[in-house]
Amino acid sequence: FDSKLPSTGTTIFTQMSELAAKHQAINLSQGFPDFDGPSELLNRVDHYIQQGANQYAPMIGIPSLRQAISQKIARCYDHQVNADSEITVTSGATEALFATISAFVRPGDEVIVFDPAYDSYDPAIRLNGGTPVHIALLPPSFAVDWQVVANAITPNTKAIIVNSPHNPTGTVFSAHDLEALYAIADQHDLLVLSDEVYEHIVFEGVKHQSVLRHKELAKRSVAVSSFGKTYHTTGWKIGYCVAPAPLMAEIRKVHQYLTFSTSTPMQLALADFLSAHPEHDEVLPSFYQQKRDFFNEAMSESRFTFTPSPGTYFQLMDYSAIKDVPDTEFALWLIETAGVAAIPISVFYQTPPEDMRLVRFCFAKQAATLSAATQQLVRL
């Protein structure tokens, strides 16, 4: 048969986690914490399961969770969102991204994505007949040159996907980026799909520049987030998207036939926890900044070089002083030689920059895990 995605293989996250398990390596590759979320949250899931909350949730999400999300958005971004018509709970951010792309991208439409790009965007655009237009962000800053973006717009450009804080580089948008994004989207009538799954993991006291902060930009944007990142529960696969009602109505048409709804007891537990503990996401920056600094301090004894990540729970490291090989080869060597798994960066580019010598480490780990890993890495 004829593959619809002939050049798509198994995602790098699966590949590296499988290799880490095979070599019994410390897994700093795929992004997930090696610790649990708050026990009060976990206990609420048990509570609701015992209470019999085990059947389908409403298609658009449990009302109390949508209310709690709406209050969180008001608290964090000073933006009022209607919990009934402008929020949908999805099976992870991945589903929200796919449902949004499916709802709006038609054959022939172009969608701008920034490389290194999270790996689900490109296949989702292609499966819907669209053409991803990749714009490369380059080290060391990985900053967006908005003039390059303006030049890439054609009459077929339908949407632009942005991701701040950015996976895998950790860079974050400034207020200027948000303005520049708005100017281009407004001028060319573009939909903005804003992947904000790391919205609460921004360091050094910097504010996350959500599209929801910008009243005009929010009118043409779909903001996507994930409870997996904020509550250390990536395996629950619960996320959500926020969009103006007419856009949300279209996204729901896809969502209802993609997954229909998502886990009932977990939504109920998240609703309770989010309402009772708004402080959780307020302490997340310092919680992860401490882990970043712990990891980086140990790594400063190594031959890796780096600038501290501004956001996310990922740290890029340059390994050129250790070995002059492409990053995928280095990542395999690292597993075999040091027993530590990392993610190569070139796989997130359509055309990787030549001689890029960077890998991504996930520092969402207990101190003991980070210590064990860095003890291996400083020897290289």
Query: Which residues of this chain interact with ligand GLN, rule CB under 6 A?
Result: 11, 13, 30-31, 167
| Shortest CB 11 distance to ligand GLN, Å | 6
Query: Which residues from 197-216 bind ligand PMP, rule CB under 6 A?
Result: 197
187-222 b/e with 16+ CB inside 10 Å = b? eeebbbbbbbbbbbbbbeeeebbbbbbbeebbebbb
> Of ligand PMP, ligand GLN, none, which one does residue 304 interact with (CB within 5 to 8 Å by kind)?
none
Nearer Cβ to ligand PMP (167/296): 167
167 lies in the binding site for ligand PMP (CB under 6 A): yes
**Is 239 in contact with 46 (CB distance < 8 Å)?**
no
From the list 86, 109, 122, 195, which residue makes contact with ligand PMP (rule: CB under 6 A)?
A: 195
Give just the sign of the alpha carbon dihedral 92, 95, 98, 100. Answer: negative
d(CA 3, CA 125): 15
Nearer Cβ to ligand PMP (322/344): 344
| Shortest CB 28 distance to ligand GLN, Å | 10
> What DSSP designation does 114 have?
E
> Of ligand PMP, ligand GLN, none, which one does residue 30 interact with (CB within 5 to 8 Å by kind)?
ligand GLN
d(CA 161, CA 287): 28
> Of ligand GLN, ligand PMP, none, which one does residue 163 interact with (CB within 5 to 8 Å by kind)?
ligand PMP
Nearer Cβ to ligand PMP (119/186): 119
Q: Residue for token digits 């962000």? A: 137
Nearer Cβ to ligand GLN (66/208): 208
d(CA 116, CA 137): 7
| Shortest CB 21 distance to ligand PMP, Å | 19
- How many residues bind ligand PMP (CB under 6 A)? The answer is 14
- Crossing angle (nearest 10°) for helices 245-258 and 92-104: 110
Q: Residue for token digits 């990142």? A: 229
Rounded to a whole number of angstroms, the CA Rg of the chain reads 20
> Of ligand GLN, ligand PMP, none, which one does residue 157 interact with (CB within 5 to 8 Å by kind)?
none
Residue type for position 124: A
> Of ligand PMP, ligand GLN, none, which one does residue 195 interact with (CB within 5 to 8 Å by kind)?
ligand PMP
CA distances in angstroms from 355 to 129, 318, 351, 352, 358, listed in the order given = 33, 11, 12, 9, 9
Nearer Cβ to ligand PMP (232/338): 232
